[in-house]
Amino acid sequence: MPPQTPLEPTPEGLVPVGDGWFAVNARDARWYHAEGRTAYVDFEGESGFAQLGMNLSVLEPGEAMARYHWERDQEDFLVLAGEPVLVVEGEERPLRPWDFVHCPPGTAHVIVGAGRGPSLVLAVGAREHASRADWGAYPFDAVAARHGASVERETADAHEAYSGLTRRQPTAYRDGWLP
């Protein structure tokens, strides 16, 4: 069995150091946030996981989890709290706690906070194609645009897709983000 990965304390929270196993409470992990954007905790640390991406996102009403996009890899989402809205393949669908969303490769989607309070969503995605140039794209979608979650014109460039948004910065957990 490989040794446990040490957790390095930083002002923004504990961060895994190395490639071994680790256990960390979401409140102690590194979070990312910018005013007007979702807060999320990325459990992968700086190096990222080779096979799966995994994070928790806190979405206030009107905040999009990402830009509307599709990927060559599978993504799945579990709503843990709140009433977010899923925009998938140009259709809007309300979600509630314990709803599970499966997006096979090529499925255009985004989740947006809605309802009276914050939503909490667990996201898990495969990483087979994530670092390739043909990873996927950000298409324009009128339904996603109504939620402020679409690009104006299709692009595969993440920098272009997110250029109008404030960049999230590392931060410590804030009371109220998790139930």
pLDDT digits (tens, 9 = 90+) for 79-118: 999 999 999 999 999 999 999 999 999 999 999 999 999 9
C-alpha pair distances (Å), 134 with each of 22, 71, 107: 32, 9, 15
Residue 71 placed within a domain: yes
* Residue type at position 101: V
Residue 55 placed within a domain: yes
Residue 29 placed within a domain: no
Residue 81 placed within a domain: yes
The CATH number for 104's domain is 2.60.120.10
The predicted structure's pLDDT at residue 17: 65
The predicted structure's pLDDT at residue 124: 96
pLDDT band at 128 (very low <50, low <70, confident <90, very high): confident
Q: Count CB atoms within 10 A of the CB of residue 84.
A: 29
How does the average pLDDT of the chain come out, rounded? 91
Residue 177 placed within a domain: no
Rounded-to-integer distance, Cα 67 and Cα 106, Å: 15
Residue 11 placed within a domain: no
Question: 3-state DSSP call for residue 164?
Answer: coil
Residue ranges making up the domain that contains 157: 40-167
The predicted structure's pLDDT at residue 39: 97
Rg (CA), the chain: 16
Number of independent structural domains in the chain: 1
Are the CB atoms for 4 and 20 separated by under 8 Å? yes
User: Residue 77 contacts by C-beta under 8 Å, 6 or more apart in sequence?
Assistant: 86, 100, 101, 103, 111, 121, 122, 123, 124
What is the pTM for the complete model shown? 0.90
